[in-house]
Amino acid sequence: MITGKYLSTIGRAQGLKFGLLFVVAQLVLLGSLKFVENTRVFISLSFFAQFLGGIGAGLNSTCAVAIISTFFKDDREYYIGILEGGVGVGMLVGPLLGALLYSLGGYLMPFWTVAGIVLALYPMLIHTVNYIQVRERAHDL
């Protein structure tokens, strides 16, 4: 709701960039909770991390659907279906991989591994987002 309201202000491309960074911040923060011994601080940081992740996920999903709807008008349903299928596969396989990573490396491993993968893919996102921005500017002219 909030994301959709302010999406035209920040832009879809910027929304994807910030959304991914919020998700990375969530993952790093959740992994770092292992080092927090104070219960109140632990709970506060847990809620804050989930808040960041919620904002990031909201930005990512809203921006992705908006971009698909704009650039693939004829095949919009097909590409949104692929997007949602990917989300479904991730929700199916994610816990299994998380459990495997946990068994291999403990509490930190699932969070920091996924954060590292997302950061490694971030340059590809920047390249794609720059392409989207160029196409949006050309479309506005």
Here the tokens at position 97 are: 């991989």
Q: Tell me, what's the pLDDT at 139?
A: 66
Query: How would DSSP label each residue in 7-53?
Result: HHHH-HHHHHHHHHHHHHHHHHHHHHGGG---HHHHHHHHHHHHHHH
Q: Are 36 and 45 in contact (CB under 8 A)?
A: yes
Q: Tell me, what's the pLDDT at 1?
A: 63
Q: Tell me, what's the pLDDT at 67?
A: 87
Write out the chain's pLDDT in tens, 141 residues.
666 677 778 888 888 999 999 999 999 999 999 999 999 999 999 999 999 999 999 999 998 998 888 888 899 999 999 999 999 999 999 999 999 999 999 999 999 999 999 999 999 999 988 887 787 777 664
- Spatial distance between the Cα atoms of 83 and 122, rounded to a whole number of angstroms: 18
